[in-house]
């Protein structure tokens, strides 16, 4: 494991695998361990760099939290690697990848269902308020249940089906330990407004799954339209966690995209 200091002095931890052009994998929820199923599909051809975002895993934390700080953390890792990297982010990591590409030199950007809210859904978003109510009542697991149900299932799942899924999910109930950092992440997401144009001077691949939450499937299309050189691919039968649940399918599409970027 290696570390780098962000702009405000926060220590950001990351690990590297393989050799070749740099590829940064940016997680959303959880920690850098999210990418464990993905790394083997890229480490033969890339130096795969996998950081923990602040407040998660082995990275440090601070009292303040904002998208600007998240981008500064990512840029610190970008500056630490040799060469302009490809940024591949999932969920909130996808938003970080796109926003970092606006201010740092990158080879390309890949984002799987970036955590961007658009349209009526954004205007009516109240996940933060509902999570805060549960936390005020001391119900940490209840607050995290709200987050998981909304983000992974779009709220379109019955109570019994959701509880069955939760019982079978290996990360539960330990995932509830992240509830405070998840809440502040959601504050950033609800405050973010997608610009009409995202000044990303690099090719961008936007990914989604047919079984992903409807609001994120709408968002990824809006992001594609805002990026000057953006391409969209939808995976049939996959949901929001596809990079971890179907890493081979996702990695194959990403590799094909990067081959076209290399040959442009």
Digit-coded pLDDT (tens) for 66-75: 999 999 999 9
Rounded to the nearest integer, the mean pLDDT of the chain is: 94
- In the structure, what pLDDT confidence band is assigned to residue 233 with cuts at 50, 70 and 90? very high
Strands 2-5, 11-17: pairing is antiparallel
Mean of the pLDDT values across residues 87-95?
97
Domains and CATH numbers, the chain: 2-116+193-262 (3.40.50.1820), 121-186 (no CATH)
Digit-coded pLDDT (tens) for 37-74: 999 999 999 999 999 999 999 999 988 899 999 999 99
What pLDDT is stored for residue 181 in this prediction?
A: 92
What pLDDT is stored for residue 263 in this prediction?
A: 66
Mean of the pLDDT values across residues 208-236?
94
Query: CA-CA distance, 38 to 49, in Å (whole number)?
Result: 12
Q: For residue 138, is it left (φ>0), alpha (ψ between -120 and 50) or beta? A: left
Q: Which two tokens stand for residue 244?
A: 């971890």
Check whether 186 has a pLDDT greater than 60.
yes
Query: CA-CA distance, 244 to 67, in Å (whole number)?
Result: 24
- In the structure, what pLDDT confidence band is assigned to residue 171 with cuts at 50, 70 and 90? confident
DSSP string computed for 108-144: EEEEES-S---HHHHHH--HHHHHHHHHHTT-HHHHH
Q: Which two tokens stand for residue 20?
A: 């070749």
What pLDDT is stored for residue 87 in this prediction?
A: 98
Q: Which two tokens stand for residue 120?
A: 């009526």
- In the structure, what pLDDT confidence band is assigned to residue 264 with cuts at 50, 70 and 90? low
For tokens 């926060």, what's the residue? 10
Question: How many CB atoms neighbour CB 264 within 10 A?
Answer: 8
- Cβ neighbors of 104 (< 8 A, separation 6 or more) are 74, 75, 78, 79
Check whether 17 has a pLDDT greater than 80.
yes
Q: Which two tokens stand for residue 44?
A: 């033969």
231 exposure class (CB count in 10 Å sphere: 0-12, 13-18, 19+): middle
Mean of the pLDDT values across residues 78-92?
96
Query: CA-CA distance, 208 to 179, in Å (whole number)?
Result: 25
Mean of the pLDDT values across residues 174-185?
92
Check whether 143 has a pLDDT greater than 60.
yes
What pLDDT is stored for residue 152 in this prediction?
A: 83
What pLDDT is stored for residue 64 in this prediction?
A: 87
What pLDDT is stored for residue 153 in this prediction?
A: 83
């Amino acid at each position: 494991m290696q570390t780098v200091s962000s702009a405000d002095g926060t220590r950001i931890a990351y690990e590297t695998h393989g050799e070749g052009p740099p590829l940064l994998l940016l997680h959303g929820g959880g920690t850098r361990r999210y990418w464990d199923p993905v790394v083997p599909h890229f480490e033969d051809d890339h130096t795969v760099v996998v950081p923990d975002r602040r407040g998660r895993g082995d990275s440090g934390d601070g009292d303040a939290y904002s998208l600007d700080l998240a981008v500064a953390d990512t840029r610190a890792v970008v500056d630490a690697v040799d060469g302009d990297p490809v940024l591949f982010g999932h969920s909130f990591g996808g938003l970080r990848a796109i926003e970092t590409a606006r201010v740092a030199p990158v080879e390309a950007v890949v984002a799987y269902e970036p955590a961007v809210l658009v349209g009526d859904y954004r205007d009516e978003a109240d996940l933060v308020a509902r999570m805060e109510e549960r936390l005020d009542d001391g119900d940490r697991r209840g607050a995290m249940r709200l987050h998981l149900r909304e983000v992974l299932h779009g709220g379109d799942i019955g109570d019994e089906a959701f509880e069955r899924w939760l019982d079978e999910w290996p990360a539960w109930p330990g995932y509830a330990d992240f509830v405070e950092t998840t809440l502040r992440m959601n504050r950033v997401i609800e405050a973010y407004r997608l610009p009409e144009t995202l000044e990303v001077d690099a090719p961008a691949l936007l990914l989604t799954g047919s079984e992903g939450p409807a609001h994120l499937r709408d968002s990824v299309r809006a992001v594609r339209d805002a990026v000057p050189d953006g391409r969209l691919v939808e995976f049939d039968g996959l949901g929001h966690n596809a990079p971890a649940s179907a890493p081979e399918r996702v990695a194959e599409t990403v590799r094909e995209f990067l081959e076209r970027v290399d040959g442009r």
